[in-house]
Amino acid sequence: MKYFIGNWKMFGVPKSINILNKINYFHSKDKNCKKYRIVFTPPYTLIETYAKHFKKKRILIGSQNCYQKEQFSSNTAAVSSYMIRSVGAKYTLVGHSDNRSEGDTDEILKNKVFFALKNKLKVVFCIGENKKQKKNNKTFNVLKKQLTKVLDKKLNMNDIIVAYEPIWSIGSGKIPTKDELKETIIFIKKVLKRISGKNSFKVLYGGSVDGSSVEIFKQIREIDGFLIGGASKSSKKFIDIIKNYYR
Ligand code: 13P
């Protein structure tokens, strides 16, 4: 099963549901539809309406983040996994570089993952190196640390998907080479195996995925899907990614 996950970031109002309706229609007619799953993470403001609307349809709804405490707390503007789950979300991203750069430490992320799983959300755990770390050949060290500091075998690893998003690639149009990316995805799977003792994991790629870059990514069979930012805000661009992937 491959994943195509659209992360809207700070985008969307109620009527933006039209974008997802078109993608839902495409999926319902696509002969390859059994091979992949579509998830969208709109902002908090839209989760409930969208989750209700797509309840019996093809698109699953998730959250872009969740708070590090359990149910309710006195933290202004915080939204817990419990609250997210209660309005119908099935997934949550954790550890997106946008949130890491705003202060999400490994300790915080550990709590977020723990409470998300406890509240029956599947976790898309994001990792990735920055430009300087890449330049200094630190990519594998950074990724290994990001994984081992947060994940451990006591967690239900079956409900965790890892998304490798090199920070320098997000929104830049720059992508890793095919060999680099293949090697990195294999490395991540090896680390995950060491952490959990299990054999099979879903590892996605994110960073400037669009209809043309996917032609390269699809040659790497170890990639289990994509976390898509910019191109997920247009039904045509998102559908093009899926079409070109299965062409
Ligand atoms: P882009 O697809 O716009 O590069 O964003 C990737 C991303 O950050 C998804 O979470």
Q: pLDDT tens digit string along 201-244?
A: 999 999 999 999 999 999 999 999 999 999 999 999 999 999 99
Taking residues 40-49, what's their average pLDDT?
Answer: 98
* CA 72–ligand 1 middle distance (angstroms): 30
Domain that holds residue 105: 2-246
- Identify the CA nearest to 93 among candidates 125, 71, 120: 125
**Residue 215 is among the residues annotated as catalytic for this protein:** no
**Cα separations in angstroms, 225 against 3, 70, 197:** 4, 30, 23
- Does residue 20 have a pLDDT over 90? yes
Task: Confirm or reject: Cβ of 127 under 6 Å from ligand 1.
Answer: no
Task: Confirm or reject: Cβ of 124 under 6 Å from ligand 1.
Answer: no
What's the pLDDT tens digit per position in 48-59?
A: 999 999 999 989
Spell 77-96 as b/e; 16+ CB within 10 A means b.
eebbbbbbbebbbebbbbbb
CATH number of the domain enclosing 178 = 3.20.20.70
What's the pLDDT tens digit per position in 151-171?
A: 999 999 999 999 999 999 999
Taking residues 105-112, what's their average pLDDT?
Answer: 98
What confidence tier does 3 reach under pLDDT thresholds 50, 70, 90? Answer: very high
Closest C-alpha residue for ligand 1 atom 7: 229
How many folded domains does the chain comprise?
A: 1
Task: Confirm or reject: Cβ of 229 under 6 Å from ligand 1.
Answer: yes
36 contacts 45 by C-beta, under 8 angstroms: no
Taking residues 96-102, what's their average pLDDT?
Answer: 97
* pLDDT, the chain, mean: 97
- Does residue 77 have a pLDDT over 90? yes
Q: Helix (H, G, I), strand (E, B), or coil: what is residue 50? A: helix
Q: Of the residues 48, 96, 102, 183, which is catalytic?
A: 96
Cα 20 to Cα 51: distance, rounded to the nearest angstrom? 11
**Cα separations in angstroms, 67 against 25, 99, 234:** 33, 11, 28
**Could you tell me what percent of the chain has a pLDDT over 90?**
98
pLDDT value of residue 199: 87
Q: Helix (H, G, I), strand (E, B), or coil: what is residue 182? A: helix
Cα 19 to Cα 16: distance, rounded to the nearest angstrom? 6
